[in-house]
Structure 1
Amino acid sequence: MLPFQTLISLDKTLALPVYRQIANAITHHIKNGVLQPCTALPGTREMAEILDVHRKTIVAAYSELEVQGWICVTPRKGCYVAGNLPELKPGEWGQEAPGGYGKQMSAPFNVLTKERQGSIYPPNTPFHLIIDDGWPDTRLAPLDVLMREYRSLLKFKYKNPVTGTVTAGSLTLREAMADYLSETRGIKAGVPHLLITHGAQMAIFIAARLTITPGANVIAGAPGYATASQVFRHLGANMMTVPVDEQGIDTDAVADICRKHPVSMLYVIPHHHHPTTVTLSPARRMRLLELSAQYNFAIIEDDYDYGFHYNSSPYLPLASGQHDGRVIYIGSFSKSLASSVRIGFLVGAEDFIQQGMYLRKLLDLKGNHLMEDALAVLIKNGDISRHLKKANKVYHTRLQHLTTLLDTRLREVVEYTVPTGGMAVWAQFKIPLKQLSAHATKQGLYISDGTSYMAENSCRIGFASLNTQEMEQAITILASGI
């Protein structure tokens, strides 16, 4: 029931009778849409108690409203807002809401971007196929096992949960992660060096917030991960980009910037760089660590695609080497399992993690410790490792199938380099990609028009989430638009 004691304000010192004040207040809320047609009103006795007035006052107010046609009074059934209201026409969707929320806010606020925010996919378009940015196939993920552990913990361990906060994340998950990172990535980090986040994007924001001050110089590859760059710019960074070639980020260009300007932080995706999918060479990895030590800047190492390699064993992360705590390592389980599993992590020096915990608390007071503990069980039991081993074989087969289709169906219009891992192919089109994307949309297929990558006529073709039949349908649609 609506809070009528606050909706109806009475002033018994006014010359206007109290019953008229009540009737006017109810009329006002009906006109403004707070009281919708056919809404039940409290009975006369109940409303009298709510407003602390005599029942006869409510009877008089309701009678006034009934005479004016605002409400209907039915014996033994009650009082209702009239269904056919006078002087009131239903507004169309999108019109300003009188007295409520409309298109614009009257009070001043900070405008962070002129771009309209929303889904990366066009609204109201019935896509039956999506060529994504490079996401996993949730049909392969052991989500049933994850939810089984979730329900088990909910039933037993969390029957009477402790209400305190553990801002760094579930201790059980951090303990499991410490062993997991050591075994799979050679990263020697204990529980005090780990911060669990709500996805990798939160980890990027926290790491950037702690390493960037307004006006600070930040280096990133170009083309690069646009969402991370948006975070850095939002925090006031002066973005300084360097080229990305077949060996990854250009370390000579990085060194040249460092000789001329003080640098606070460098952002790098060493395995399957976004968007070009190239892998940073061993020589450049060593060079980045040398430059970080020489010029004393932090490195944010975003390694979200580490678990997927097809041709050989992966290079160890920068964080596995000697770096005196300058490397902040970020990862996520969104790519290992499903995009809906919003569990990321950040690895850093103990004092850095302490500050990260403080910032995390401001953003998200309590993480999902129940899901984090369930994930810890999958890590300890080896379910994650077995899934990755299986998924690698499936995704490698899908990559081979995609390249065959590109070579046979789109050879004249697409150039690409076969990636050594990851979930997407970086494709350069010889025809206008926006036109091809528009053609695909009409056929129920989504493919990026390249705008979000800041690279003309280029986009990522995600292959992991599509089985071979879906992939053939998608390429057939693209081929029909040439």
Structure 2
Amino acid sequence: MFAFKNFIQIDKGADTAIYLQVVNALIQQIRRGQLRSGSKLPGSRELAEVLAVHRKTIVAAYDELMAQGWIEMLPRKGTFVVQDLPEIKPKKLKQSELGMPYPAQTIFAIQENRVGSFPAAVIPDPKALIINDGFPDTRLVPNELLLRELRSVSRQAAFRKYHMYGNPEGTDYLRETLSGFLRETRGLPISAANVMITRGAQMGIYLTAQLLLKPGDQVIVGESSYFAATLICQQTGAHINRVPVDEFGIDVDAVEQLCKKKRIRLLYVIPHHHHPTTVTMPPERRIRLLELAATYKFAIIEDDYDYDFHYTSNPIQPMTSLDHHGSVIYIGTLSKTLVPAIRVGFIVAPENFIRAVANLRMAIDRQGDSMMEIAIAELYRNGTISRHIRKVVNLYRERRDHFCSLLTDRLGDRVSFKLPDGGMAVWTKFNDSDLRQVSAKAAQKGLIMSDGQRYNTGATNYNSARLGFASLNLNEQDRAIEIMAGCL
């Protein structure tokens, strides 16, 4: 008999189920030609005794192999490797069989830049030195704990219902968990019914704009603002009105003057750490915006993408915590708390809005990643995320201080900046050097950094960039600023 015990190695401590270990081992031997077409396999009882496993394990393995087309069971004869094996590698067609090449373009017209020109997605060499827009350090995320929760979710019977289609508003488990977290940490008087889980903040902005805006509607954004949110609003056909942004955020007087002249439908604002300038809006301006929204009946998108990362004092509570009229759509994300690759964000709003935006979501995305949502809820409930936030806030504060010291000591009056109260980047103006040239020279020396163009509006060239400090340790910061200094 073929030496099954020698090539089927069972590891009872592995994550892979034992029956799948048997399946994988048998397939491997068939692929190698050790088990040829027509070879007879031992019965389930016999193989179970050889491998010292339960007979039901072998039955499950054989069922899986039959389902995949590797074996067949013949009545009163036994179990055999099939004569016609599943194709291991697709047959390569000869050039003469290929026919016409696949077309490079469609025969019909398309709008290639319907939502404007987003910067091309670039995945740089992981070994490259990068000053990004202000992203977390992915080396710090509690990966093992997250993976442990994902494995637990996949196994526990209590969570099996989340393996099927679910609620477009998100899993109830995370909505309940997150609403409690936001009540406790941000003072939001909400319940799970006020929360919808999204695939990141940008999805929340897009869905909100699609639901609220139609061609010709009037939208207010800052003169400097998050470029993607502006493009999203523009693609609905809405008209964009820009107002100044100063050291205290968006100019509320300018907002009021626009409200007197036009029927404003939507205001987009980032009061906590404005993007790109990082400034924080004081409470009095926030209250005035809420009063204007109540008076002129416009909606507010409050984008609070990095609330947890504040270094000088307790952060100011969101505008949503003071909204008694139902004016504010509050949008946040876990991409900064954990890593950008984990696409989980949220919308907080009155219940009628949540129902409507969830219905709209169904047109483009049936639901989110339920298993990931449950795993993240578990990380909230067992305190992992709160501990992670405390840890990285202290570390990012140290990195901010070191980075700003380097800017002062090495670059001096060639740049201008203000120490940010929070966030993960420093808004830096290059006083005498063209930032585009600085960026190009830096790239030649192995440093990837922004050329600042995405922050410019048609009327303004800031010659400035967000220089992200959070993802660089102190040694990496030293090297980056050394290169930058040599490019000025």
CA contact (8 A) 2:169 2:367 kept: no
Q: Give the distance between the partners of 1:188 and 1:114, measured in 2 at CA.
A: 35
Q: Give the distance between the partners of 1:347 and 1:381, measured in 2 at CA.
A: 23
Instruction: Return the offset for 1:117.
Output: 5.8
Structure-2 residue corresponding to 1:461: 467
Q: Deviations over 1:358-385 (max 9, x none)?
A: 0111111121010000000111111111
Q: Secondary structure at the match of 2:237?
A: coil
Residue type at the aligned position of 2:476:
E
Q: Give the distance between the partners of 1:308 and 1:326, measured in 2 at CA.
A: 25
Structure-1 residue corresponding to 2:345: 344
Q: Deviations over 1:28-57 (max 9, x none)?
A: xxxxxxxxxxxxxxxxxxxxxxxxxxxxxx
Structure-1 residue corresponding to 2:202: 201
- Note the 1:315-464 alignment, pairs <5 A: 315-430=316-431, 431-454=433-456, 455-464=461-470
Q: Relative to structure 2, which stretch is displaced further, 418-427 or 157-166?
A: 157-166
Q: Secondary structure at the match of 2:240?
A: strand
Match of 1:478 among 481, 484, 488: 484
Alpha carbons of structure 1 residues 120 and 414: separation in structure 2 relative to 1, 3 Å: farther
Instruction: Return the offset for 1:118.
Output: 6.1
Q: Secondary structure at the match of 2:264?
A: coil
Matched, 1:173 2:174: yes
Q: Give the distance between the partners of 1:233 and 1:323, measured in 2 at CA.
A: 29
CA contact (8 A) 2:425 2:469 kept: yes
Structure-1 residue corresponding to 2:88: none
Q: Give the distance between the partners of 1:435 and 1:329, measured in 2 at CA.
A: 38
Q: Secondary structure at the match of 1:363?
A: coil
Instruction: Return the offset for 1:206.
Output: 1.0
Q: Give the distance between the partners of 1:199 and 1:476, measured in 2 at CA.
A: 35
Residue type at the aligned position of 1:434:
R
Alpha carbons of structure 1 residues 321 and 409: separation in structure 2 relative to 1, 3 Å: same
Q: Give the distance between the partners of 1:362 and 1:261, measured in 2 at CA.
A: 32
Structure-2 residue corresponding to 1:138: 138
- Note the 1:100-179 alignment, pairs <5 A: 100-102=102-104, 104-113=105-114, 119-121=120-122, 128-157=128-157, 163-179=164-180
Residue type at the aligned position of 1:444:
G
Alpha carbons of structure 1 residues 125 and 167: separation in structure 2 relative to 1, 3 Å: closer
Q: Give the distance between the partners of 2:367 and 2:207, measured in 1 at CA.
A: 16
Q: Give the distance between the partners of 1:378 and 1:261, measured in 2 at CA.
A: 46
Q: Give the distance between the partners of 1:200 and 1:317, measured in 2 at CA.
A: 16
Instruction: Return the offset for 1:81.
Output: 7.3
Structure-2 residue corresponding to 1:264: 265
Q: Deviations over 1:415-460 (max 9, x none)?
A: 0001100000000002111111011111121111111111431000
Alpha carbons of structure 1 residues 401 and 175: separation in structure 2 relative to 1, 3 Å: same
Alpha carbons of structure 1 residues 114 and 306: separation in structure 2 relative to 1, 3 Å: closer
Residue type at the aligned position of 1:304:
Y
Give TM-score scaled by structure 1 length: 0.78
Q: Secondary structure at the match of 2:342?
A: coil
Alpha carbons of structure 1 residues 245 and 81: separation in structure 2 relative to 1, 3 Å: closer
Q: Secondary structure at the match of 1:411?
A: helix
Alpha carbons of structure 1 residues 461 and 118: separation in structure 2 relative to 1, 3 Å: closer
CA contact (8 A) 1:212 1:264 kept: yes
Instruction: Return the offset for 1:111.
Output: 3.6
Alpha carbons of structure 1 residues 81 and 452: separation in structure 2 relative to 1, 3 Å: closer
Residue type at the aligned position of 1:197:
T
Instruction: Return the offset for 1:107.
Output: 1.5
Instruction: Return the offset for 1:215.
Output: 0.6
Alpha carbons of structure 1 residues 125 and 173: separation in structure 2 relative to 1, 3 Å: closer
Q: Give the distance between the partners of 1:120 and 1:81, measured in 2 at CA.
A: 32
Q: Give the distance between the partners of 1:136 and 1:81, measured in 2 at CA.
A: 44
Gaps of 5+ in 1: 1-79, 91-96
Q: Secondary structure at the match of 1:410?
A: helix
CA contact (8 A) 1:267 1:300 kept: yes
Q: Give the distance between the partners of 2:100 and 2:248, measured in 1 at CA.
A: 58
Give TM-score scaled by structure 2 length: 0.77
Q: Give the distance between the partners of 1:126 and 1:326, measured in 2 at CA.
A: 43
Q: Deviations over 1:380-409 (max 9, x none)?
A: 111111111111100000000001100111
Residue type at the aligned position of 2:484:
L
Instruction: Return the offset for 1:143.
Output: 2.3
Q: Deviations over 1:110-158 (max 9, x none)?
A: 343497766344x887861110000011111222211110111112245
CA contact (8 A) 2:439 2:450 kept: yes
CA contact (8 A) 1:277 1:426 kept: yes
Residue type at the aligned position of 1:445:
L
Q: Relative to structure 2, which stretch is displaced further, 472-481 or 450-459?
A: 450-459
User: Identity of aligned pairs, percent?
Assistant: 44
CA contact (8 A) 2:162 2:370 kept: no
CA contact (8 A) 1:127 1:445 kept: no
CA contact (8 A) 2:162 2:371 kept: no
Q: Give the distance between the partners of 2:92 and 2:286, measured in 1 at CA.
A: 71
- Note the 1:209-288 alignment, pairs <5 A: 209-288=210-289
Q: Give the distance between the partners of 1:425 and 1:268, measured in 2 at CA.
A: 19
Q: Deviations over 1:220-262 (max 9, x none)?
A: 1111100000000001110001000001100000000000000
Instruction: Return the offset for 1:333.
Output: 0.2
* RMSD over equivalenced CA pairs, Å: 2.1
Alpha carbons of structure 1 residues 127 and 215: separation in structure 2 relative to 1, 3 Å: farther
Residue type at the aligned position of 1:383:
T
